[in-house]
Amino acid sequence: MISFPVTTSPPFESQFFSQRIKIHSKFFYDKGKKFFIQGVSYGPFKPRTAECSFFPLPEEVKADFLLMQQAGINTLRLYHFPPAWFLDLAKEFNLKILISIPWINRYAYLSNLQSFQDFKKSLKNKIKAIAGHGTLLGYFVDNEMAPDCIRFYGRRKIEKLLSDLLLFVKENDPDAALSYANFPPTEYLHPKPVDFYSFNVYLHNPKELENYLSRLQNIAGEKPLLISEFGMDSLRHGEEEQANLLEEHIRIVFQSGLAGTILFSWTDEWFAGGMDVEDWAFGLVKKDRKAKKSYHVVGKLFQNSSLPLYKRFPLERTPKVSVIVCTYNGAKTLTDCLSSLKRLQYPDYEIIVVDDGSTDHTRKILHQFPEVIAFHQPNKGLSAARNLGIEKATGEIVAFTDSDCMADPDWLYFMVKTLLNDRYVACGGPNFSPVPRQSIQEIISLAPGSPSHVLLSDTHAEHIPGCNMAYWKWIFEKIGYFDPIFRKAGDDVDICWRILSSGYQIGFNPSAVIWHYRRFTVKDYLKQQIGYGEAEALLRFKHPHYFGSLGNALWKGRIYEQNLSFFSLKKSSLYQGIFGTGFFQFLYPEKESSWSAFLKSFEYLFVSPFLSLLLSCFKTTKPFLFLPLLPPLLAALNYTNRVDKENKSHSFLSKFLLFFLVLLQPVARGYKRYKTWLFSRKLPLSIPRGMGPADILKSLVQKPALLSFWSKTGQDRLFLLGAISRKLIKTASLYALDSGWDSWDIHVYAGPFWDCQLLTLTEIYPKNERVIKIKIRFKRTFLNKISLFLLILSLYLLFLGFGQNSLLLTLPLSLLLLSFLSIQKTIIGIKLKEWIKQTAQEVGLEPINEDNKSSKPL
């Protein structure tokens, strides 16, 4: 057995304790607590002396820092390297520094590699001089690369240049947080090694800003997003409008879950291009440091940074939330989960844990959390546990996470903010992997198949994972609760599709973060993928219109996970505007081609050995017998290499394990999906008493099944369909309801070889009486069709080999298979007809004799 060393990193809560600011997921941390950047840009200034290039004198700086401290400002953005005394003074006032590395001659660096190398040498000395300083937060390696420059030299070249510079700075100051200060015209520029994303955004319309920040949050993914510049010119707009805009901007930034904002600028004093800028006034204070109204407004918002977000930026209301955790033998991570939920910064919530028949020490852990409301039930599955939690919940909103998850302190704040939007009845957020406890867990976290959200737009979801979702409680009364048939997974997809089919919408908040432990062992990972495969098959039974012919889900939106396709015919496209002058230039990412997906699929992995065997049968194709096996191997190798480039380097053993998991994941998932799809079809019914073989043979020659029922009280076909569907749920039968696009009312998955489709009709008679008719149509299943295909193929091959003599063998085989299929069809029809009669009688309908053409009740 391969063994991996246990990592010695500190636990989740204490791993950020150090002198310098650290990054974890979407936020900065200072000594274990969230550090929101509340910054201003500072300078450049007209040089006072040769020693104070682009900076004021120390006494002027000290006076500025005192005013900043009083306003709650905690971060400065500089556009030149500061002298040592400046950093020391900033430390006295507990200010953090972000430095924009100045490119003196950008175009020379781009066209002359030697010039760029010389630039890096001089840069190294400047970085080394201040590296490790406690007040230094990090660097912007460049600021607003011109879009025509990127267009001219090529996006890939510019990204590589910036990436090289990021790595170079990281080598010389490993603890510094690094970014590239982007802006909307070059939104598509993404140098990979950034520690956080930053954008200079000057959108003055609040709604447009909020929408654009949602887009940027999804681009940033698991990394923090910082507004690196925002402001308004008070010369043109006036101090009143400037103050109002900055107040609204700060509210939107923090309610959108950003890591912070840097206001441009501290003062109206600004020196650029070798001269004082006189026709702009973006500062919070004037050149003489006299405060504008915006200084006081910003100070009021920044000074209360120690308060939780729900107090700093209150929501219109804070409805009570019931946080529901369903667990089955989840003791290993339950303590971390409940500890994180205790620290949620939201004024009104309760924690409910439903123990679904655990046999580990879950009960013992629950006793350590007296504030948690615990319920215990025999093992009934995930959906049943969630339904119990909903029934016991007292909140207007029910939020779900899992026992192997930890919630960000502001999780509920962001969830509720989205749900207060009248458009949404549900909301989800991202789930990220925390710092792995073991090296093997880190590799598993990089393997494909983790739960992920599917977005139709930046704020509108098609699917939200069950580990991070919230609903208005009333929606379950409208569309029904979680379906108990989903015992391990798939319940979240089912409820999302039912919500969308009912005309409601699902929101998404990229800041409502959950940290989700990935599986700790390969065995557990494969068990998870097997469970997902079973869930996919069960979902296909219930929602056939959401699936393709091979059982692949047909998503309208984009799945937010690593798109590491083997090859793609649909390359990414970039909208730049005419002549590259578009203010918002969007990159539409490449979509994995259907061929690429197929070559990595279970279906191809299953077929490829047979293709190799076929090639080995002929002399001309024998040299190519291994060719069919190459695509999945190359796809797995491509995935492994690209993951390794985007993450830190791994050992050969780790890479091999990841390669192995990439190959095995579709096998585990696909095997269980097909097994469930082909062999889980059955009716939990028995043949009616008194019916023998003669009755079954008689039914073989009868016309298609037609049932009729008399209603004296005006009940129509919808009434009977409701009774049938409720009975199907109660008996745990597999079925699907008409989606609006189907030519049947209920599709019953009756057996491995036959499905049944029920089609109903209401005949209206005087005195409010009705006749309800049900037609049963039989459909061949995939297994049925494959059996017939294999029969025909074997008949053909036997005929080629033995000629007419093969009839002695093939004729009995054919009759045997066809008889078997016919008898199976007849038995299913008898069972289903009797079951429908019983269901109809239970709701007060009277069966009509099928041979009585007068359609009178018996």
Contact 561, 452 (CB under 8 A): yes
CB atoms within 10 A of CB 85: 13
- Backbone torsions φ then ψ of 616, nearest 5 degrees: -75, -10
Q: Would you state the pLDDT for residue 225?
A: 97
Round to whole Å and give the CA distance between 158 and 191.
8
Q: Would you state the pLDDT for residue 852?
A: 47
Q: Would you state the pLDDT for residue 589?
A: 64
According to DSSP, residue 398 is labeled E
- Extract the runs of DSSP E, i.e. beta strands, from 162-270: 177-182, 197-200, 225-230, 260-263
The answer to pTM > 0.85 is: yes
Q: Would you state the pLDDT for residue 15?
A: 38
Q: Name every residue whose Cβ is closer than 8 Å to that of residue 424 and which is 6 or more positions away in sequence.
A: 418, 504, 505, 506, 507
Q: Would you state the pLDDT for residue 805?
A: 63
The domains located in the chain, with CATH, are 36-312 (3.20.20.80), 321-518+554-559 (3.90.550.10), 573-679 (no CATH), 693-848 (no CATH)
Q: Kindly report, residue by residue over 623-679, the tens digit of the pLDDT.
A: 888 888 888 888 888 888 877 666 655 678 888 899 999 999 999 999 999 898 888
Q: Kindly report, residue by residue over 246-259, the tens digit of the pLDDT.
A: 999 999 999 999 99
| Residue 548 Rama label (left phi>0; alpha psi -120 to 50; beta) | beta
Q: Would you state the pLDDT for residue 571?
A: 62
Segments of the chain with pLDDT less than 70: 1-19, 50-52, 559-593, 644-650, 684-704, 797-810, 850-858
Q: Would you state the pLDDT for residue 822?
A: 86
Q: Write the CA distances from 163 to 23, 81, 573, integer angstroms.
A: 19, 21, 22
| Residue 667 Rama label (left phi>0; alpha psi -120 to 50; beta) | alpha
SS3 515: strand
Q: Would you state the pLDDT for residue 575?
A: 65
